Chain A
Amino acid sequence: MKERDTITAIASGMTASGISVIRISGSEAFSVAKRVFKQKKNGTFSEWRCEEAESHTVHYGYIVDGEEVIDEVLVLLLRAPRTFTAENTVEIQCHGGILVTRKVLQAVLAAGARLAEPGEFTKRAFLSGRIDLSQAEAVADVIAAKNRLSLKNSINHLQGRVSQSIRALREKILDEVSFIEAALDDPEHMDLTGFSERLMEESQENIREIDKLLSTAEKGKYLSQGIRTVILGKPNVGKSSLLNAFLGTERAIVTDIAGTTRDALTEEVQLGEITLQLVDTAGIRDAVDQVEQIGVNLAKKEAANADLILFVVDSSAPLNENDYEILSLLQDKKAIVLLNKSDLETVVSLEDITALLQANSCDAKVLAISMKRPESTDSIEQEIKNMFFRGNLEVNDEVFITAERHREALQSAGQSLAEVIRSIEAGMPEDFFSIDLLNAYRELGFIVGEEMDEDLVNNIFRKFCMGK
């Protein structure tokens, strides 16, 4: 491999954590490290004698900037080619803390390394033949994985479960193309009689197969990005206690993410194995009438954009027009009506709500809950699983399409096959079929890395964040 310059970056992500890792990779990795990493001997700093050290060993010492000690660190010495990038690599483990980590990085930069571009380490690993493109892509997914299950799914991608079904589809399509082409060139020995009918059936079957994969894309999205959820209900029905119950569970992880649709916050809630993106939790927290505050129109908009509506109803009080209004938003949506305060005397029964939903032609589920009973969140979790993952959230025997790129490619492939069917229906000559068959073949090829495109390659590396 040609000599590449030496690059560095923070490899552990810029969050407050116990330990941060700064990675240096390239032919000059060791000499760069030597300039900033010193060991103490008899109370004075001395040169790190890395030349004598074995590969894959840990060294204790200090990162110094001139005379000033920046941090006390552990350093990993990794010699080429048995490293991620297949280049000489040094990894500095310093104390977490954003300030210290930055200072260490600055010292390394001053010592002669260049700041790595996003994805550059992975690109070097790729160029060194350590990983192939689909693995690189899966690495990006692993980094972006939000929870255990989406991580597991990424790993399944790595192992090629999706690839198997895509490859099988491609093979079937190619067989048909080959048959058409062979028949064009050797009509004496290849008979196209009845071929259109056969191709029609097979294309329909292939479209069904593609749709099946696409249906997992929805699940995959919920899995990897969370379910966009809005909690609706009139004042004092228990929205905030529901929220607190979500947040209060010991399994929950909460992070604040700036909302993308408007200035309202979206909060990520971990409900067991499911991630919910809760919309406008601020409104709920303020315990003001949410519908009033954000306005019916906005509520409608949020409800329309949501993957899931949790409609909280106070079962101890009669329904009023607010409830009816919200009810009308549930049409064609995935929704759960939570009959709260079910421990109190009920005025609104499960049957009442069910009848109302039917009258409004809503397909929502109804759950009687009480925020005083901690197992209520369990039943909600189970219901969401039923709705979004058909109750089954084990990724063991199912693989989800999570990458947007794969979803798009599948869709195009499906459209191309639909074109084939249209051509057959229009009675076009067989040689026309191969144009769209080949398009479908190609699109599917992009998913499994059997077709290559410059944009595709570059986009995969662009997806990486700094330091990877």
Chain B
Amino acid sequence: MVPEFINEAYDVAVIGAGHAGCEAALACARLGQKTIVFMVSTDTIAMMPCNPNIGGTSKGHLVRELDALGGEMGVNIDKTFIQSKMLNESKGPAVHSLRAQADKQKYSAEMRRTMENTDNLTLKQAEVADLLWEDASDGKKQVTGVKTVSGGIYPAKCVILCSGVYLNARCIFGEVSQQTGPNGLPRATHLSDSLIAAGLELYRFKTGTPARIDKRTIDFSKMEEQFGDEKLVPFSFTNRPEDIAREQQSCWLAYTNAETHKIIRDNIHRSPLFSGEIHGTGPRYCPSIEDKVVRFADKERHQIFIEPEGDYTNEMYLSGMSSSLPEEVQIKMYRTIPGMEHANVVRNAYAIEYDCLNPMQLYHSLESKEIHGFFSAGQANGSSGYEEAAAQGIIAGINAARKLQGKEPVIPDRSQAYIGVLIDDLVTKETHEPYRMMTSRAEYRLLLRQDNADLRLTEIGYEVGLISEDRYQKFLQKKQLIEKEQERVCSVAFGASGKIQDFLKEHNSQELRTGTSLEELIRRPELSYEMLAPMDPNRPDLPQDVVEQVEINIKYAGYLQRQEQQVAHFKKLENRRIPDEVDYNQITSLRLEARQKLSQIRPVNVGQASRISGVSPADISVLLVYLESFQKQKG
């Protein structure tokens, strides 16, 4: 037994300095709470142990939302990206998504610099072994601090668990199994037991990462070059495109082939995923290459993106090819790919298994339902991905600070933000695999676009105190410009004669029969705000992001309106609160499964109840009728 010693007390202790931990710690410190953050090594702050990019489909939305709330990830990637691309530009604005390739080292170094220079924030390299708590007066528990492996007790009013994939981690490839965290770093061996002792339920999840190849051993002439965008869009709303201009690096596209697949199939029995060696559940949506070959057996090839990991390294990341096959099989497999015949594997792919919380034990604020002051965020909550982690991190950080300040928690709902969807899914729906954000998970995605994240959330960030007055004023200005320009566009009228008819004919657009407005013309699919500039001589000079909002609001007005109606409907059940005293076991007309699930999760409103798997619409109808008579009885 290591002797204990008591350290200085903190308002908040954050366990882990990955993407969740950094956002949580920064939010707390910036909101004036004395914060300490623990990490396995100060060299690994905001480390990117897997893919070398930030953003992507729906994840890009999270980063922009995070930025609107006053988070750091957007600012940090703007400083450190080496390629930037807006994905899905051929599709509707709801699914446009920003993705940037990061210089991994720089990303980590910049975040470290920010963390080290933030007031109220203390960095501590130490493994947390125990969560400290005492019994609370309401029969639940109250967190009191943490203890490190070296016996250091750090009293804290709130603790935020951001342990990533480190809890009892195990890395596996082929027949090899190592008791380490990612990248060979030490794992956390004590904390899991302490969490279980505190009454928390843990899951065992699995994820994986592909290999890194020496750039000098790849023949890129056999691959398709993937360039970054010329017109840059910053992640952070604080940056203008010109602020982030730089030379970009390319990514490369290659494909697997029949030979690759044959090697995989011949060795599939040696994959720990298929041999049963791995017990943790892996993500369906980020499958390993052996998963893909088995699941899409008729596909002749799969895409592989070869992505640079930074300016100061030759390592190239093999996106789309995560694997846990034995090292020798991996080498053979990579060398079947055109251009990689002589590839040198710097780091081989591996799967990693780890402990995480069953997130249904948390409120939407990300505080534990049973332990006051204990919050949890990121992969520790069963999510996957840097962006998902960061998004939870800032919410946990904000809510821990607000709890200490006696304020109501901030909980964006499903109609406000992808962050709201993410957290609601995690705490409501049963996840049996690492949760990845996806476009399809957001019901109201036409309203939740990456381009309007600031319009949706800056107000909240400002109220919370993470958005500066200066930034807020700029935001208000932007809002006003949008409104004014929309009004102006409605008032610009055209008669059915003269120049406009020639213009329309020229653009293959139907000529006018009666007078119309500029708004109506912008709405035509074949025309745009930009195209109509010659017909609109009094147009003010507006920033691109303002024009974008005006155009989207006009062009998709009907769809936006119908989506707003869907939201109004959603809010109805969302506003139907369920009193704490409701005893589901007394409602015999609920099916047994529904009674159990509702008792376990204790949803705060009927909307949340309706999203619990195992609770049917029939159960919801019972609940609605029951609540009505329940309230009547209470008078």
Instruction: Tell me the A residues contacting B by CB distance below 8 Å.
Output: 1-2, 123, 126-130, 132-133, 181-182, 184-186, 188-189, 419, 426-432, 435-436, 438-439, 445, 449-454, 457-458, 461
Interface string of B601-634 (1 = CB under 8 A from A): 0000010001000000110111011101100010
A452-B559 in contact (CB<8A): no
Judging by beta carbons under 8 Å apart, are B439 and A453 in contact?
no
In the complex, which residue of chain B has the Cβ closest to the Cβ of A178? Answer: B440
- List chain B positions with a Cβ less than 8 A from chain A: 57-58, 88, 90-92, 94-95, 285, 296, 299, 302-303, 320, 438-440, 443, 445-446, 525, 556, 559, 562-563, 566, 569, 572-573, 576, 586-590, 606, 610, 617-618, 620-622, 624-626, 628-629, 633
- Contact call A184/B95, Cβ cutoff below 8 A: yes
Given A133-B618, A428-B525, A184 and B57 touching (CB < 8 A)? yes
Q: How many residue pairs at the A-B interface have CB separations less than 8 Å?
A: 108
A255 to B439, CA, bound (A): 60
Quick check: A127 and B629 within 8 Å, CB to CB?
A: yes
Q: Give the chain A neighbours of B563 by CB distance below 8 A.
A: 435
Known: A127-B626, A431-B95. A1 touches B573 (CB 8 A): no
Q: How far is the CA of A189 from the CA of B285 in the complex (A)?
A: 12
Specify which chain A residues have a CB less than 8 angstroms from the CB of B573 in the assembled complex: 452-454
Docked-complex contact A432 and B559, CB < 8 angstroms? yes
Would you call B562 and A439 a contact (CB within 8 A)?
yes
Which residue of chain B lies nearest to A132 when distances are taken between CB atoms in the complex?
B618
Decide: B625 and A185 in contact? CB cutoff 8 A.
no
Instruction: For A186, give the chain B residue with the smallest CB separation.
Output: B285
Does the CB pair B439–A184 fall under 8 Å?
Answer: yes
Q: When A and B form their complex, which 8 residue pairs have the shortest distance between CB atoms, in order from nearest? A: A181-B440, A129-B589, A429-B92, A452-B620, A452-B617, A429-B91, A185-B438, A133-B621
Known: A457-B625, A458-B628; 16 extra A-B contacts, CB below 8 A, are: A123-B625, A129-B588, A132-B621, A181-B440, A182-B440, A185-B57, A185-B439, A185-B440, A428-B525, A429-B91, A429-B92, A438-B443, A449-B617, A451-B617, A452-B621, A454-B624
Note all chain A residues with C-beta closer than 8 A to B587.
1, 127
Tell me, in angstroms, the Cα distance from A329 to B294 when the chains sit together: 72
**Cα separation A431 to B302 with both chains bound (whole Å):** 24
Tell me the smallest distance from the CB of A391 to a CB of chain B, in Å: 39
Contact A127 B622 (CB under 8 A): yes
Show 17 A/B contacts (Cβ-Cβ < 8 Å), sorted by A. A1-B586, A123-B625, A128-B589, A129-B622, A133-B621, A181-B439, A181-B440, A185-B285, A185-B440, A428-B92, A429-B95, A431-B446, A432-B446, A432-B559, A435-B559, A451-B617, A454-B576
- Residues of chain A contacted by B58 (CB below 8 angstroms): 185
Q: Is the CB of B589 within 8 A of A126?
A: yes
For the complex, what is the distance from the CA of A408 to the CA of B576, rounded to whole Å? Answer: 25
In the complex with contacts A127-B626, A128-B589, A439-B562, A452-B92 CB distance below 8 A? no
In angstroms, Cα B586 to Cα A127, docked, is 11
Whole-angstrom distance between the Cβ of B435 and the nearest chain A Cβ = 13
**Distance (whole angstroms) from the CB of B412 to the closest CB of chain A:** 21
Check if B559 sits within 8 Å of A128, measured CB to CB.
no
Bound Cα distance A178, B350 (Å) = 31
On whether the beta carbons of A450 and B57 are closer than 8 Å, the reply is no
Contacts A428-B92, A431-B91, A431-B445; A449 near B569 (Cβ below 8 A) = no
Contacts of B617 in A (CB 8 A): 445, 449-452
Q: Which residues of A contact B285 (CB under 8 A)?
A: 185-186
Across the interface, which residues of B come within 8 angstroms of A123, CB to CB? 625, 629
Contact of B446 among A181, A188, A435 (CB under 8 A): A435
Q: Could you tell me the distance between the alpha carbons of A133 and B626 in the complex, rounded to whole angstroms?
A: 13
A204, B94: Cα distance in complex, Å: 26
Is the Cβ of A126 less than 8 Å from the Cβ of B525?
A: no
User: In the complex, what residues of A have CB within 8 A of residue B622's CB?
Assistant: 126-127, 129
A452–B438 CA distance with the chains assembled, in angstroms: 26
Write out the residue numbers on chain B whose beta carbons fall within 8 Å of the beta carbon of A458. Answer: 624, 628
Say how far A457's CB is from chain B's closest CB, in angstroms: 5
Query: Across the interface, which residues of A come within 8 angstroms of B556, CB to CB?
Result: 432
Partner of A449, one of B95, B303, B320, B621: B621
Closest chain B CB from A206 CB (angstroms): 18
How distant is the Cα of A430 from the Cα of B90 in the complex, in angstroms? 10
CA distance A335 to B285 in the complex (A): 63
B373 to chain A, nearest CB (A): 35
Q: Which of A128, A181, A449, A454 has the most C-beta atoms of chain B within 10 angstroms of its own C-beta?
A: A454
